[in-house]
């Protein structure tokens, strides 16, 4: 029997492994190279995740502008329900194929998970977002909605125990300052009701990246996105159908939710409105949420929220170009602070990626 010295815990991990299992040095070299290749693959996935962050930011930046345009053709809840169900219908065949490839059958627990996730992040979140767009201008809605990382970082820390780094805390503080500049409390330029609606929508969407992480390893991003949209869309549709009942419609109205009462589901369709509906449905809701889930899968729930560090500048530029909205000086300062917050979180990530490339070279 070969000699194995006591106290191997004091050796480096690689030497300890060799001493315990009599692994030749040339085999250890092969193992190191295999480990290096594995690290390169992980780095590749991370790079893809960061590319998805930029792509998702670009897609999401068009949401409020397109919804504002659709406001004249469809009622707010009509466009919300129809775009969600349209996105679900587009993604569902691919999701079913992906589940079959994974040999996964949905359980009662999975359906309960989708019901809760769909209600919070689709039915309730998208309804609040649509109402906020009606009570505020498109750029302000988009910028405040970009406060998502403030909540997402905290939720990912407390629910998923993801580390809350120093640069994350600095980014949160800078972003809060940016929101205060945009709101300009001394001379409030926006609707208080609209602000409350968009703040609640932001908090709810911050939960999406965190909660979908819970079942990503088993179900995958595609299935979670498709079934989340399907269950959330059906829940919202049920609320709208109940609003057709006079007594329920009167209850909605008494609660200030008249937008849910007597909603037409088949009115307002033209070629232009149908194309815009496809964009906000399949593009913004379907592809956008899928990218968010993929970012969470390839990086983390914390980094998935980084989409909203980049979104304000893109959304504001679109609002100015399309609607000619005036951007005040305080709002420009707020946008600059959002960009500073994005640098706080993105620069360390890029440095880490660069170090990883050097180590793997």
Tens-level pLDDT at each residue, the chain (361 residues): 444 444 444 444 445 444 444 545 555 454 455 444 444 444 577 778 888 888 888 888 887 778 777 767 788 788 889 989 999 999 999 999 999 999 999 999 999 999 999 999 888 988 887 788 777 776 677 667 777 776 777 777 777 677 777 887 888 888 888 878 877 766 666 677 888 888 888 888 878 777 887 888 899 888 998 999 999 999 999 999 999 999 999 999 898 788 888 888 888 888 888 898 999 899 888 888 888 888 887 877 667 777 776 777 777 777 777 767 777 788 788 878 877 877 787 677 667 666 665 555 5
DSSP 34-85: HHHHHHHHHHHHHHHHHHHHHHHHHHHHTHHHHHHHHTTTS-HHHHHHHHHH
CA end-to-end distance (rounded Å), the chain = 39
Cα Rg, the chain, nearest whole Å? 24
Considering only the C-alpha atoms of the chain, give the largest distance between any 2 of them, rounded to a whole number of Å: 87
The region that residue 256 occupies, defined by phi over 0 for left and psi between -120 and 50 for alpha, beta otherwise, is left
Compute the half-sphere exposure of residue 191: CA atoms within 13 Å on the CB side of its CA: 14
Q: What is the pLDDT of residue 354?
A: 62
In whole angstroms, what is the distance from residue 222 CA to residue 351 CA? 30
The answer to whether the beta carbons of residues 308 and 147 sit under 8 Å apart is yes
In whole angstroms, what is the distance from residue 349 CA to residue 165 CA? 12
Q: What is the pLDDT of residue 138?
A: 64
* Residue recorded with tokens 């593009």: 283
Q: What is the pLDDT of residue 112?
A: 94
The answer to whether the beta carbons of residues 253 and 261 sit under 8 Å apart is yes
The angle, 0 to 180 degrees and rounded to 10, between the axes of the packed helices 108-118 and 216-242 is 60
CA 259 vs CA 72, 130, 134, 277: distances in Å: 14, 10, 11, 19
Stated pTM of the model = 0.70
The angle, 0 to 180 degrees and rounded to 10, between the axes of the packed helices 25-61 and 63-70 is 30
In whole angstroms, what is the distance from residue 301 CA to residue 49 CA? 11
Q: What is the pLDDT of residue 114?
A: 94
In whole angstroms, what is the distance from residue 151 CA to residue 132 CA? 19
Q: What is the pLDDT of residue 217?
A: 86
Q: What is the pLDDT of residue 7?
A: 46
């Amino acid at each position: 029997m070969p000699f194995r010295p006591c106290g191997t815990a004091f050796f480096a991990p690689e030497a300890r492994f060799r001493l315990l299992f009599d692994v030749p040095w040339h085999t250890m070299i092969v193992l190191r190279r295999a480990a290096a290749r594995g690290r390169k693959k992980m780095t590749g996935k991370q790079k893809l995740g960061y590319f998805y962050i930029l792509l998702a930011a670009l897609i999401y930046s068009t949401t409020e502008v397109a919804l504002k345009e659709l406001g004249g053709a469809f009622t707010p809840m009509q466009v919300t329900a129809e775009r969600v169900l349209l996105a679900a219908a587009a993604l569902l065949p691919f999701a079913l194929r992906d589940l079959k490839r994974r040999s996964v059958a949905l359980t009662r627990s999975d359906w309960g998970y989708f019901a809760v996730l769909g209600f919070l992040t689709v039915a309730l979140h998208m309804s609040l977002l649509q109402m906020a767009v009606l009570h505020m201008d498109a750029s302000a809605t988009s910028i405040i909605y970009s406060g998502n990382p403030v909540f997402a970082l905290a939720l990912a820390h407390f629910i998923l125990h993801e580390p809350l780094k120093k640069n994350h805390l600095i980014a949160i503080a800078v972003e809060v300052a940016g929101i205060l500049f945009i709101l300009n409390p001394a001379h409030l330029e926006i609707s208080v009701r609209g602000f409350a609606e968009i703040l609640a929508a932001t908090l709810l969407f911050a939960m999406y990246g965190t909660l979908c992480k819970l079942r990503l390893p088993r179900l995958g991003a595609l299935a979670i996105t498709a079934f989340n949209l399907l269950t959330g869309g059906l829940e919202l549709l049920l609320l709208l159908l109940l609003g057709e009942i006079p007594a329920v419609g009167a209850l909605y109205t008494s609660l200030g939710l008249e937008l849910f009462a007597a909603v037409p589901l088949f009115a307002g369709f033209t070629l232009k409105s149908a194309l815009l509906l496809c964009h906000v449905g399949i593009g913004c809701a379907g592809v956008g949420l899928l990218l968010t889930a993929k970012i969470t899968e390839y990086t983390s729930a914390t980094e998935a929220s980084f989409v909203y560090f980049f979104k304000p500048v893109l959304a504001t530029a679109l609002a100015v170009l399309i609607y000619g909205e005036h951007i005040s000086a305080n709002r420009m300062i707020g946008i600059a602070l959002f960009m500073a917050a994005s640098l706080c979180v993105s620069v360390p990530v890029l440095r880490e990626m660069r170090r990883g490339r050097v180590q793997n070279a």
